[in-house]
């Protein structure tokens, strides 16, 4: 996290440049800046979509076209006021983006960009061939914008509108990213598995950012139409859509300011290359795309995060840390009655083709007990975990959680009912702080959506979520690492962060997959103490672990698995003296 | 529309569809082996057609300079690596392969006048100039980031596409070319006229598909590619180099692309940027096959060809709109038939 003073610096520079620009600059530069502003608005949408969410679109130019053509058509043919055509454009764009998103976002990641390429081409040809949209000649004499009696006729006047719009978009995007919804969006990039297990509705998050990016593009198109006062299909082609993506990749795909930097660089470079290259080559044509293409390949090979992070590194280090705001604690789930059966697994079976990973597993976990699941590597423990927590579906069998059948539910719905888990292979978001990672766990305990976040009217709830995250971090003994970047912690501690994140969901049943792996002796003792305390508070804990000292000292009951089947069940001492178990662990004595 | 027109359109559709099917196969192959969604596939089509057209016009094709330029770039990188690793003995073969061969090719074309050569020789020469671009592109653009995410590879792929389009404009100019028909033969079947060119395209496509099938089923390199496609890590542990597999799949993609370009060069006027739309139509076919199934991709591509052909009759202005909008119902259908997919 950046300090507020530091992160205000680019903002202040931005505002100063914004206000002074048109007063001193010649016409040519004002025009250039207008275009940079228009492109940056679109590019910001791609930052959200590609840099933050890990999705991408080559069809943003087509969304710009939707905004531009909607206003062009409505204002010229039906005489509608331009201020009404903006919401109209938003409606059209949102409808298209939602349906396109609904169709492609359920498929694996690369179908969205392919879908947007196809849709970008379709729309381009549609604009060019529909007679009421003017075909390839386009629509002319679009009215100027009228701003409280001032007609925005010249580029100099329009400049203020474009850059004010950009400023609003920048602020809204930053607010959105620094919120509960923003963390859910950022969690998408690490694969949807963890996010779903923490209760994030990932298809919804994806559709939201795709739609928001499309709406940004639509706004840019509306501004463009009233700046140019005419539209034709050319600026909305796939080539332009690709260029938008180039802007963010070169500027810094994960950074709000990277979008503006990239839009500026590409626009200026293009202007310059278009003058210079034809002279050098003695031919006319769009040769600048060769330079852009090579530049892109180079950037993706050598500096995949783009130029903005490189600039950031050159700026002085900032040291002051954000504080976790004091806030009222979040409400807790009622504690289940002591000894009540929380989880009941009946005949759980999982087949992968011919391989039976879990065969008719039966056991239960009660409130206020630690149940350990042990067995040699490959016994099917993690598979069973995935089956119970909804990360993967069981082939057959029943899972009852708090009296409700859950084997057919998705992971996020199970999480909502009070079951939380950690992963054997740590799934933290490496570039986010420990605090933010743990706060993802509290996702289900907030209600405010992305509109609240963009307008920053969810600060009370946000404070309570962060407060809860901080509380769990302290419980787990990681207070001194609260603001560290998650990937900077040793693996053992990252496992503890996973536990803190699971606790932030306020579970009544905790599934821990090898929590003690990679911990040192002292840390293991601290972990055992933590789990004892949670047990004392009435939580049920299902534990997979290989460290027998740790398991036997902690568990109330033990289930032993081998080859996907239950080998033994009982008290730790019983299991330890069971000949079948000894045989499985130590090998048969012949 | 009477039966005769319907048959004529159907013939057109199958001809184009056969070419799209070839491209769809190449796209599925490249994606399966390298995870690259190979947007520049179409550029090989355009370059193949334009190279053949240049040769037939008695000109030195621009492809030669492109090949030489890329060869020099590859050679410089490989030589730098050899020097760094002190494998100096590798330098002569690197230089010979990447720079020497294009130079010999250029020399040969200076000496003989290409327009006088028989058609098969011209075709082979065209392929010799275009196909090596495939592995060179893999070496320059994809090999250094072979482990990157599908998304990054896709963006690089698009960057390669725009670079090649720009280079295509520079080397071939803005004018389109069309080569004379390979054959004037035609057959009468009932009322309908079956053109020899159509038969030739379809037969050549089927032969190429058959050859690919043989390659994948019967040869060790083909099996290595299939193994890489199924399990990259596993294949690497078995000693199959991911780099070799990547270069091989790009070579095949370039071969299929350039060959398709040769096939369509007498049917349609090809411009430096025509390949993109042609390649994307192959993509629509490949997506119908979920970027995974070869037969469904090929069938999907034939469907795209037919749809294009009939829509050019009914609503020619909206031909592209109709073809590319087809992808929406296809994606919807796939979406409704796919369970949750975790991309990793």
Task: Choose the final residue of a domain: A220, A238, A256.
Answer: A238
Q: What's the CATH number where A571 sits?
A: 3.40.50.300
Q: What is the pLDDT of residue A501?
A: 95
Query: Going by C-beta distance under 8 Å and a sequence separation of 6 or more, which residues neighbour residue A341?
Result: A364, A365, A366
Query: Helix, strand, or coil here: B325?
Result: helix
The verdict on residue A258 lying in a domain is: no
- Per-residue exposure over B242-259, b if at least 16 CB sit within 10 Å of its own CB, e if not: beebbbbbbbbbbbbbbb
Residues 48-87 of A with CB under 8 A from B: 50, 54-56, 58
Q: What percent of chain A has pLDDT over 90?
A: 47
Q: Is the pLDDT of residue A2 over 60?
A: no
In whole angstroms, how far apart are CA B181 and each of B130, B186, B208, B265? 21, 12, 20, 8
Candidates B157, B164, B166: best to mutate against A (most CBs of A within 10 A) is B166
Q: Which domain holds residue A439?
A: 427-505
This model of the complex carries an ipTM of 0.90
pLDDT number for residue A542: 94
CA distance A504 to A183: 14
Q: What does DSSP assign to residue B51?
A: H
Q: Using the 3D structure, point to which of A179, A205, A238 is the last residue of a domain.
A: A238
Same domain for A533 and A499: no
Say if residue B314 is in the same domain as residue B210: yes
Is the same domain home to A33 and A169?
A: yes
Please report, for residues A173, A187, A323, A423, A428, the alpha-carbon distance to residue A431 in angstroms, rounded to integers and kept in the order given.
19, 11, 19, 18, 9
Interface of A with B in 179-208 (CB under 8 A): 191-193
Model pLDDT, residue A587: 67
- Residue contact A286–B169, C-beta within 8 A: yes
Residue from the list B156, B283, B343 with its beta carbon closest to the beta carbon of A108: B343
Q: How far apart are CA B329 and CA B334, in angstroms?
A: 8
Containing H/E element for A542?
Answer: strand A540-544
Q: Does A244 touch chain B (CB under 8 A)?
A: no
> Distance from CA of residue B290 to its chain's centroid?
19
Residue B161 shares a structural domain with residue B216 = yes
Position of tokens 């009296």? A403
Q: Is residue A280 in some structural domain?
A: no
Helices (H), ranges, A178-255: 180-188, 192-197, 202-228, 238-251
| Shared-domain flag, residues B160 and B303 | yes
Pairing of strands A509-513, A540-544: parallel
Distance of alpha carbon A120 from alpha carbon B39, whole angstroms: 15
Q: Answer with the one of A179, A214, A238 that is the final residue of a domain.
A: A238
Q: Are residues B68 and B166 in the same domain?
A: no
B81 inside domain: yes
Q: Does one domain contain both B122 and B101?
A: no
Whether the predicted pLDDT of A117 surpasses 90: no
| Residue B120, domain extent | 3-58+113-180+187-337
Interface of B with A in 124-153 (CB under 8 A): 140-141, 144-145, 148-152
Q: Which of residues 3-22 of B touch A (CB under 8 A)?
A: none
Distance from CA of B160 to the nearest CA of A (A): 6
Tens of pLDDT, residue by residue over A9-29, are: 777 777 777 777 777 788 888
Q: What is the mean pLDDT of chain B?
A: 87
Domain assignment of residue B251, yes or no: yes
Number of folded domains in chain A? Answer: 3
Spatial distance between the Cα atoms of A539 and A526, rounded to a whole number of angstroms:
18
pLDDT digits (tens, 9 = 90+) for B39-70: 999 999 999 999 999 999 888 888 999 999 99
For testing contact with chain B, the best of A100, A105, A110 (most B CBs within 10 A) = A110
DSSP B142: I
User: What is the rounded CA–CA span in Å between residue A72 and residue A218?
Assistant: 13
| Contact (CB, 8 A) for A210 and A105 | yes
Domain shared by B132 and B98, yes or no: no
Average pLDDT of B150-167? 93
Q: Span B313-334, mean pLDDT?
A: 82
A511: pLDDT confidence band, cut at 50, 70 and 90?
very high
Separation between Cα atoms, residue B173 and residue A561, nearest integer Å: 70
Mean pLDDT of A216-225: 96
Instruction: Summarize pLDDT for A457-473 with one digit per residue, the tens.
Output: 888 888 999 999 999 99
Residues A559 and A455 in one domain: no
Do the domain assignments include residue A323?
Answer: no
Torsion-angle region of residue A148: left (phi > 0), alpha (psi -120 to 50) or beta? left
Q: Is A74 helix (H, G, I), strand (E, B) or coil?
A: helix
Question: Would you say residue A320 has pLDDT above 70?
Answer: no
Mutate: best of A53, A61, A117, A196, partner B, most B CBs <10 A: A117
Q: Is residue B295, in this structure, part of any structural domain at all?
A: yes
Task: Report the domain count for chain B.
Answer: 2
Rounded to an integer, the average pLDDT of A247-261 is: 91
pLDDT value at residue B341? 43
- The reply to whether B316 touches chain A by the CB within 8 Å rule is no
Give percent of chain A with pLDDT exceeding 70: 97
Sequence-distant contacts of B74-77: CB under 8 A, at least 24 apart = B74/B98, B74/B136, B74/B139, B74/B140, B75/B99, B77/B139, B77/B140
pLDDT digits (tens, 9 = 90+) for A375-422: 888 888 889 989 999 888 889 999 999 989 998 898 999 999 999 999
Within-domain flag for B32: yes
Which residue in chain A is spatially nearest to B326 when comparing CA positions? A118
Q: Does A304 touch chain B (CB under 8 A)?
A: yes
Q: Which of B112, B134, B153 is the last residue of a domain?
A: B112
- Element housing A558 (H / E): strand A557-562
In a domain, A245, yes or no: no
Widest CA span in chain B? 72
Helix (H, G, I), strand (E, B) or coil at A557: strand
**Looking at the domain assignment, is residue B193 inside a domain?**
yes
pLDDT tens, residue by residue, A474-508: 989 899 999 999 999 988 889 899 999 999 999 99
What is the C-alpha to C-alpha distance for residues A419 and A514, in angstroms, rounded to an integer? 17
Q: Which residues of B touch A245 (CB under 8 A)?
A: 155, 158
DSSP string, A328-383: PPPP-PPPPPTT-EEEEEEEEEEEETTEEEEEEEEEEEETT-EEEEE-STTSSHHH
- Shared domain check, B102 and B217: no
H helix or E strand, kind and range, residue B15: helix B3-34
Residue of higher predicted confidence among B251 and B288: B251
Domain-ending residue, one of B77, B97, B112? B112
pLDDT bucket at B340, cuts 50 / 70 / 90: very low
Residue B165 domain-assigned (yes or no): yes
One domain, residues A476 and A409:
no
- C-beta separation of A72 from A139 below 8 A: yes
Residues A497 and A511 in one domain: no
Q: Report the pLDDT averaged over residues B198-224.
A: 87
Q: Which of B139, B163, B173, B288 to mutate to test the interface with A (most CBs of A within 10 A)?
A: B163
What residues pair up with A511 in beta bridges, in sequence order?
Answer: A421, A542
Alpha helices in A406-490 (DSSP H): 411-416, 434-441, 450-455, 459-475
Q: Which chain B residue shows the shortest CA-CA distance from A103?
A: B332
Contact A487, A498 (CB under 8 A): no
Q: Answer yes or no: do A515 and A498 share one domain.
A: no
Half-sphere exposure of A511 (CA within 13 A, CB side): 27
Q: What share of chain B is helix, strand, coil (3-state, %, to 5)?
A: 75, 5, 20
Count the helices and strands in chain B (H runs, E runs).
Answer: 16, 2
Collapsing DSSP to helix, strand or coil, A36 comes out as helix
Provide the phi-psi class of B190: left if phi over 0, else alpha when psi is between -120 and 50, else beta.
left
pLDDT recorded at residue A1: 40
Question: Of A324, A340, A365, A312, nearest to A474 (Cα)?
Answer: A324
> Model confidence over A162-207: pLDDT tens digits?
999 999 999 999 999 989 999 999 998 877 889 999 999 988 999 9
Q: Is B73 on the interface with A (CB under 8 A)?
A: no
Non-local (6+) Cβ contacts of A185 within 8 A are A48, A52, A53, A176, A177, A205, A208, A209
Same domain, A22 and A87: yes
Same domain, B124 and B40: yes
Nearest CB to A126 within list B164, B321, B328:
B321
Query: A98 in contact with B at a CB cutoff of 8 Å?
Result: no
B138 and B227 co-located in one domain: yes
Same domain, yes or no: B27 and B48: yes
Does A485 share its domain with A341?
no
Instruction: State the burial class of residue B180 (Cβ atoms within 10 Å of its Cβ: 0-12, 13-18, 19+).
Output: exposed
CB contacts < 8 A (A, B): 145
- C-beta atoms of A292 and B321 within 8 A: no
pLDDT at A5 over 60: no
Is residue A461 situated within a structural domain? yes
Cα separation of B129 and B50, whole Å? 11
Inter-chain touch B170–A283, beta carbons under 8 Å? yes
Choose from A49, A52, A297 for mutation: most chain B CBs within 10 A: A297
Residue bearing the bigger pLDDT, B289 or A94: A94
The domain boundary residue, chosen from B112, B128, B152 = B112
Query: How would you label A224-246 residue by residue, b for 16+ Cβ within 10 Å and e otherwise?
Result: bbbbbeebbbebbbbbbbbbbbb
Same domain, A353 and A462: no
How far is it, in rounded angstroms, from Cα A330 to Cα A460?
11
Greater pLDDT, B14 or B2? B14
- Same domain as A574, residue A516: yes
CB contact under 8 A, A56 and B342: no
Residue count (chain A): 590
Q: Do B156 and A103 touch (CB under 8 A)?
A: no
In this structure, the answer to whether residues A191 and A201 fall within a common structural domain is yes
Is A4's pLDDT higher than 80? no
Looking at residue B207, which CATH number applies to its domain? Answer: 1.10.3470
H-assigned helices in B35-146: 41-56, 63-85, 91-95, 101-111, 119-130, 133-137
Contact A108 B341 (CB under 8 A): yes
Give yes or no: residues A107 and A165 share one domain.
Answer: yes
B343 in any annotated domain: no
Mean pLDDT across chain A: 88
Looking at the partner chain, which of B166, B277, B283 has a beta carbon nearest the beta carbon of A287?
A: B166
Beta strands A370-374 and B192-195 are unpaired
Q: Calculate ∠ Cα A79-A84-A86, nearest 5°.
A: 115
Domain-located, residue B344: no
Question: Which chain A residues are Cβ-neighbours of B150 within 8 angstroms?
Answer: 109-110
Q: What pLDDT is attached to residue A7?
A: 63
Whether the predicted pLDDT of A588 surpasses 70: no
> Taking the CB of residue B119, how many other CB atoms lie within 10 A of it?
14
Beta bridge partners of A566: A561
The torsion defined by the Cα of A220, A226, A230 and A233, in degrees rounded to 10, comes to 10
Judging by beta carbons within 10 Å of its beta carbon (0-12, 13-18, 19+), is residue A162 exposed, middle or buried? Answer: buried
Per residue in B260-277, pLDDT (tens digit) is 999 998 888 899 988 998
Same domain (yes/no): B106, B117:
no
- pLDDT of res. B338: 63
* pLDDT greater than 70 at residue A6: no
Which two three-digit tokens encode residue B272? 């430096």
Residue A272 has pLDDT above 80, yes or no: yes
Q: Is residue A551 part of a domain?
A: yes
The backbone torsions φ and ψ at residue A486, rounded to the nearest 5 degrees and listed phi first, read: -55, -40
Same domain, residue pair B258 and B275: yes
Q: What is the pLDDT of residue A171?
A: 92
């Amino acid at each position: 996290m950046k300090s507020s003073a530091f992160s205000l610096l680019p903002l202040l520079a931005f505002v100063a440049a914004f206000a002074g620009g048109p007063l001193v600059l010649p016409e040519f530069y004002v025009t250039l800046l207008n275009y940079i502003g228009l492109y940056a608005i679109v590019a910001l949408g791609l930052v959200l979509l590609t840099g933050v969410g890990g999705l991408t679109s080559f069809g943003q130019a087509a969304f710009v076209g939707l905004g531009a053509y909607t206003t062009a058509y409505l204002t010229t043919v039906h005489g509608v006021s331009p201020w009404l055509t903006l919401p109209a454009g938003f409606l059209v764009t949102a409808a298209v983006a939602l349906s396109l998103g609904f169709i492609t976002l359920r498929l694996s990641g690369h179908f969205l960009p392919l879908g947007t390429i196809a849709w970008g081409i379709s729309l381009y040809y549609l604009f060019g061939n529909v007679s009421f949209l003017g075909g390839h000649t386009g629509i002319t004499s679009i009215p100027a914008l009228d701003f409280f009696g001032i007609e925005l006729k010249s580029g100099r006047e329009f400049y203020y509108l474009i850059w004010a719009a950009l400023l609003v978009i920048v602020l809204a995007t930053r607010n959105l990213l620094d919120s509960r919804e923003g963390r859910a969006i950022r969690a998408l990039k690490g694969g949807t598995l963890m996010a779903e297990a923490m209760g994030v509705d990932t298809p919804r998050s994806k559709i939201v950012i795709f739609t928001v990016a499309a709406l940004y593009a639509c706004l840019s198109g509306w501004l463009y139409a009233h700046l140019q006062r005419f539209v034709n299909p050319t600026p909305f082609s796939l080539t332009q859509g690709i260029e938008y993506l180039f802007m963010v990749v070169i500027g810094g795909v994960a950074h709000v300011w990277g979008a503006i930097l990239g839009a500026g660089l590409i626009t200026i470079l293009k202007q310059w290359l278009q003058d210079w290259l034809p002279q050098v080559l003695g031919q006319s044509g769009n040769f600048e795309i060769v330079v852009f293409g090579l530049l892109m390949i180079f950037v993706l090979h050598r500096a995949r995060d783009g130029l903005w992070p490189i600039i950031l590194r050159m700026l002085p280090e900032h040291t002051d840390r954000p504080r976790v705001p004091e806030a009222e604690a979040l409400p807790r789930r009622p504690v289940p009655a002591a000894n009540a059966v929380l989880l009941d697994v009946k005949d759980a079976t999982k087949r992968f083709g011919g391989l039976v990973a879990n065969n008719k597993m039966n056991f239960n976990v009660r409130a206020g007990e630690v149940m350990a699941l042990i067995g040699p590597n490959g016994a099917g423990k993690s598979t069973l975990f995935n089956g119970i927590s909804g990360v993967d579906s069981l082939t057959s069998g029943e899972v009852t959680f708090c009296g409700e059948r859950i084997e057919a539910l998705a992971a996020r719905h199970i999480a909502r009912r009070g079951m939380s888990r950690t992963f054997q292979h740590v799934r933290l978001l490496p570039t986010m702080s420990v605090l933010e990672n743990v706060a993802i766990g509290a996702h289900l305990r907030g209600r405010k959506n992305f509109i609240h976040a963009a307008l920053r009217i969810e600060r009370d709830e946000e404070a309570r979520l962060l407060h809860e995250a901080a509380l769990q971090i302290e419980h787990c003994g990681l207070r001194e690492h609260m603001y560290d970047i998650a990937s900077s912690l040793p693996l053992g501690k990252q496992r503890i962060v996973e536990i803190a994140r699971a606790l932030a969901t306020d579970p009544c049943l905790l599934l821990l997959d090898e929590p003690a792996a990679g911990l040192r002796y002292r840390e293991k003792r601290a972990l055992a103490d933590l789990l004892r305390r949670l047990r004392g508070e009435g939580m049920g804990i299902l534990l997979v672990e290989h460290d027998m000292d740790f398991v036997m000292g902690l568990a109330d009951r033990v289930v032993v698995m081998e080859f996907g089947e239950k080998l033994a069940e009982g008290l730790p001492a019983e299991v330890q003296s069971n000949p079948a178990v000894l045989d499985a662990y130590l090998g048969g004595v012949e | 529309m009477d039966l005769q027109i319907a048959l004529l359109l159907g013939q057109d559709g199958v001809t184009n569809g056969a070419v799209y099917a070839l491209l769809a196969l190449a796209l599925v192959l490249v994606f399966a082996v390298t995870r690259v969604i190979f947007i520049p596939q179409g550029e090989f089509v355009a370059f193949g057609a334009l190279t053949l057209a240049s040769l037939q016009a008695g000109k030195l094709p621009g492809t030669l300079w492109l090949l030489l330029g890329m060869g020099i770039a590859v050679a410089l990188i490989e030589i730098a690596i050899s020097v760094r690793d002190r494998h100096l003995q590798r330098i002569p073969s690197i230089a010979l392969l990447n720079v020497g061969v294009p130079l010999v090719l250029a020399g040969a074309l200076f000496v003989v006048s290409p327009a006088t050569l028989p058609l098969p020789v011209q075709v082979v020469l065209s392929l010799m100039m275009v196909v090596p671009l495939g592995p060179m592109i893999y070496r320059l653009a994809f090999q250094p980031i072979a482990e990157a995410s599908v998304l990054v590879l896709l963006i690089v792929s698009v960057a390669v596409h725009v670079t090649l389009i720009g280079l295509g404009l520079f080397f071939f100019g803005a004018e389109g070319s069309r080569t004379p028909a390979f054959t004037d033969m035609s057959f009468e079947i009932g009322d309908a006229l079956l053109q020899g060119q159509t038969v030739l395209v379809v037969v050549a496509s089927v032969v190429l598909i058959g050859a690919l099938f043989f390659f994948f089923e019967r040869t060790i390199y083909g099996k290595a590619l299939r193994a890489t496609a199924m399990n990259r890590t596993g294949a690497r542990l078995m000693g199959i180099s991911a780099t070799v597999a990547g270069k091989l799949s790009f070579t095949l993609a370039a071969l299929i692309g350039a060959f398709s370009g040769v096939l369509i060069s007498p049917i349609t006027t090809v411009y430096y940027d025509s390949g993109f739309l042609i390649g994307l139509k192959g993509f629509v076919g490949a997506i119908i096959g979920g970027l995974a199934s070869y037969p469904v991709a090929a069938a999907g591509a034939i469907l795209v060809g037919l749809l294009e052909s009939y829509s050019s009759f009914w609503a020619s202005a909206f031909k592209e709109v109709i073809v590319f909008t087809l992808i929406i119902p296809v994606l919807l259908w796939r979406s409704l038939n796919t369970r949750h997919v975790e991309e990793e």
